[in-house]
Amino acid sequence: MDRIDCVVIGAGVVGLSVARSLAMAGREVVLLEAENAIGTQTSARNSEVIHAGISYAPGSLKGRLCVAGKVALYAYCAERGIGHQRIGKLIVAVQEAELPELDKYVKLGAAHGVTDLRIIGAAEARDMEPEVACVGALHSPSTGIVDSHGLMLSYLGDAERAGASLALQSRVLAARPTADGIVLDVGGAEETSVLCNTVVNAAGLGAQQIASRIEGMPAGHVPPLYYAIGHYFSLARKSPFRHLVYPTGREGALRAHVTLDLGGQCKFGPDLSWRDGIDYSFDPSREAAFYQSVRRYYPGLRDGELQPGYTGIRPRLAGPGSSMHNTATDFVIQTPQVHGIAGLVNLFGIESPGLTASLALGAHVAQLVSNMQA
If pLDDT is split at 50, 70 and 90, which confidence band does 254 have? low
Task: Give me the mean pLDDT over the 178-192 stretch.
Answer: 94
Q: How confident is the model at residue 359 (pLDDT cuts 50, 70, 90)?
A: very high
Beta bridge mates, 27: none
Mean pLDDT across the stretch 249-260?
74
For residue range 74-112, list pLDDT tens digits in order. 999 999 999 999 999 999 999 999 999 999 999 999 999
Which pLDDT value is given to residue 249? 72
Which run of H or of E encompasses 68? helix 61-80
Distance of alpha carbon 41 from alpha carbon 347, whole angstroms: 16
Q: State how far the Cα of 372 lies from the Cα of 309, in Å rounded to an integer.
A: 44
* Per-residue model confidence as pLDDT tens digits over 300-358: 999 999 999 999 999 999 988 765 445 568 999 999 999 999 999 999 999 999 999 99
Amino acid at site 116: D
Residues 237-247 have pLDDT tens digits of: 999 999 999 99
Q: How far apart are CA 136 and CA 257, in angstroms?
A: 16
User: How many CA atoms lie within 13 Å of 28's alpha carbon, on the beta-carbon side?
Assistant: 7
E-state strands within the chain: 2-9, 29-32, 49-50, 84-85, 89-93, 118-121, 136-140, 144-146, 165-167, 172-178, 181-186, 192-201, 226-235, 244-247, 258-260, 266-268, 273-275, 306-316, 332-334, 344-348
Give tens-digit pLDDT for 186-228: 998 889 999 999 999 999 999 999 999 999 999 999 999 999 9
Residue 48 and residue 77 in contact, taking contact as beta carbons nearer than 8 Å: no
Provide the pLDDT for residue 255.
72
Q: Is the dihedral of CA 293, 298, 303, 309 positive or negative?
A: negative
Give yes or no for residue 253 having a pLDDT over 60. no
pLDDT at 134: 97
Residue 321 has what pLDDT?
A: 72
What is the reported pLDDT for 207? Answer: 98
The per-residue pLDDT for 146 is: 98
Q: Would you state the pLDDT for residue 374?
A: 64
Mean pLDDT across the chain, nearest whole number?
95
Relative to beta strand 136-140, strand 89-93 is antiparallel
pLDDT digits (tens, 9 = 90+) for 26-62: 999 999 999 999 999 999 999 999 999 999 999 999 9
Nearest Cα residue to 61 out of 347, 371, 369: 347
What pLDDT sits at residue 256?
85
pLDDT tens across 131-177, in order? 999 999 999 999 999 999 999 999 999 999 999 999 999 999 999 99
CA distance 70 to 113: 12
